[in-house]
């Protein structure tokens, strides 16, 4: 019922594209994605090769600076970040002020914003690149510490400090799981699986949170404020919550007697809104290259840890049954990365509420790379248009006469 010709005279021509499904917001040289062919590349390197040969911080450096770093550049980058893992003691007081039930994504975004208070130099949009690099390293250093502290705070146990000599992922596991009574035993299979999981989440071009980081940064808000906005965008269940949804679905199937076939049939029934969480993907229409890589690690982690968890048994049975079912085969509905990441995180002992936070640690290099590219391109402030559909002219009625 909209009179298009009258709108045209008010606004000129405007492209209406809800969700920006077919609108390019920028030109980017960071990540290449071909959903039909199942290709994901960062700066020209395939995700398969990066997962096999690189560390997470090496991929972070590649995403942010555009080339694979030399050995000395990578060593400096890694050791600076290790130094920045220590956080100001006052963060403990801030954390202590939150109820232990606070959602860890809320804690993470609040502490990312708080970085502006402790490092206000980041507020200067014209500061030189060397100082921007310091902010980048501080973010990469401190976000895992904030994450682990959000977890230990929620559990009511003591905060662990980063330990010298441990790698990035090892230190994170130590800060999460060591207690006064028992040092966390670091297993190389778990470390490698988590490292790969972080690499697999490191960037995914102009998704909701990356676009948020770019648009907030385009107003010259600081990198910390922009990343905090990205964390908030990722918080939504439609973006960062899919792997949490997988475990919730598996738990529901278990609570309902563990009848996997019943739920497969529900998913196939077009009158039933139920869908198998962790199956199918909006962009990857043949297979999810990230899922292919991480599936092997999910199997290795389960075998190594010898985890006996009925929820994870349901996952195995669901995967096997669906992959043989013509409905899923014909529609090319394969498990996506969230299916296996949920399984790995649960096996490692990370609670479901923390899953989106793990995603945030992984996505951090992508947000930073997108923010930096936006800044270097000198992109104008993001300011979408609209098509106004409200009242055009109304006479004001005084309050006593309404």
Whether 281 sits among the annotated catalytic residues: the reply is yes
Nearer to ligand ACO, 242 or 301 (CB): 242
Whether 338 sits among the annotated catalytic residues: the reply is yes
Q: How far is the CB of 322 from ligand ACO (least distance, A)?
A: 8
Nearer to ligand ACO, 333 or 369 (CB): 333
Q: How far is the CB of 25 from ligand ACO (least distance, A)?
A: 19
Report the 3 state secondary structure along the chain: CCCHHHHHHHHCCCCCCHHHCCCCCCCCCCEEEECCCCEEEECCEEHHHHHHHCCHHHHHHHHHHCCCCCHHHHHHHHHHHHHHCCCCCHHHHHHHCCCCCCCHHHHHHHHHHHHHHHCHHHHCCCCCHHHHHHHHHHHHHHHHHHHHHHHHHHHCCCCCCCCCCCCHHHHHHHHHHCCCCCCCCCCHHHHHHHHHHHHHCCCCCCCHHHHHHHHHHCCCCCHHHHHHHHHHHHHCCCCCCHHHHHHHHHHHHHHCCCCHHHHHHHHHCCCCCCCCCCECCCCCCCCCHHHHHHHHHHHHHHHHHCCCCHHHHHHHHHHHHHHCCHHHHHCCCCECHHHHHHHHHHHHCCCHHHHHHHHHHHHHHHHHHHHHHHHHCCCCCCCCCCCCCCCCCCCCCCHHHC
Nearer to ligand ACO, 180 or 282 (CB): 282
Nearer to ligand ACO, 39 or 74 (CB): 39
Q: How far is the CB of 391 from ligand ACO (least distance, A)?
A: 35
Nearer to ligand ACO, 256 or 376 (CB): 256
Query: For ligand ACO, which residue has the nearest CB?
Result: 280
Q: How far is the CB of 208 from ligand ACO (least distance, A)?
A: 10
Among candidate residues 203, 288, 297, 338, the one labeled active-site is 338
Q: How far is the CB of 332 from ligand ACO (least distance, A)?
A: 8
Among candidate residues 119, 174, 281, 288, the one labeled active-site is 281
Nearer to ligand ACO, 139 or 318 (CB): 318
Q: Which residues form the interface with ligand ACO (CB under 6 A)?
A: 242, 267, 275-282, 331, 333, 336, 338
Q: How far is the CB of 359 from ligand ACO (least distance, A)?
A: 9
Catalytic residues: 281, 338
């Amino acid at each position: 019922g909209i009179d298009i010709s009258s709108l045209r005279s008010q606004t000129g021509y405007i492209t209406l594209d809800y969700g920006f499904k077919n609108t390019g917001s920028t030109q980017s040289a960071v990540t290449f994605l071909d959903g039909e062919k199942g290709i994901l590349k960062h700066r020209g390197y395939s995700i398969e090769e990066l997962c096999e040969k690189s560390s997470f911080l090496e991929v972070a450096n590649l995403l942010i600076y555009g080339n694979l770093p030399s050995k000395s550049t990578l060593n400096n980058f890694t050791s600076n970040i290790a130094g920045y893992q220590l956080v100001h003691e006052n963060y403990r007081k801030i954390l202590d002020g939150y109820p232990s039930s606070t959602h860890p994504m809320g804690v993470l975004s609040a502490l990312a914003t708080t970085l502006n208070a402790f490092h206000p130099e980041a507020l200067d949009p014209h500061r030189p690149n060397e100082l921007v690099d310091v902010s980048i390293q501080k973010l990469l250093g401190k976000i895992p510490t904030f994450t682990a502290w959000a977890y230990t705070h929620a559990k009511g146990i003591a905060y662990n400090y980063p330990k010298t000599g441990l790698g990035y992922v090892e230190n994170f596991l130590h800060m999460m799981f060591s207690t006064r009574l028992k040092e966390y035993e670091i297993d190389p299979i778990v470390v490698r699986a988590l490292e790969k999981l972080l690499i697999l989440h490191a960037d995914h071009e102009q998704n909701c949170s990356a676009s948020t980081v770019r648009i907030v940064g385009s107003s010259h808000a600081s990198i910390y404020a922009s990343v905090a906005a990205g964390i908030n965008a990722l918080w939504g269940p439609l973006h960062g919550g899919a792997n949490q949804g997988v475990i919730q679905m598996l738990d529901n199937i278990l609570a309902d007697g563990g009848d996997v076939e019943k739920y497969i049939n529900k998913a196939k029934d077009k009158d039933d809104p139920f869908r198998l969480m962790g199956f199918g993907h909006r962009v990857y229409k043949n297979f999810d290259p990230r899922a292919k890589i991480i599936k092997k690690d999910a199997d290795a982690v389960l075998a190594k840890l010898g985890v006996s968890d009925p929820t994870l048994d349901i996952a195995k049975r669901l995967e096997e049954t669906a992959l043989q079912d013509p409905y899923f085969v014909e529609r090319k509905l394969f498990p996506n990365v969230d299916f296996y990441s949920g399984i790995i995180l649960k096996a490692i002992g990370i609670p479901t509420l923390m899953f989106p936070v793990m995603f945030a640690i992984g996505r951090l290099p992508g947000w930073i790379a997108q923010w930096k590219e936006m800044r270097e391109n000198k992109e104008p402030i993001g300011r979408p248009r609209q098509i106004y559909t409200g009242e055009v002219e109304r006479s004001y009625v005084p309050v006593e006469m309404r």
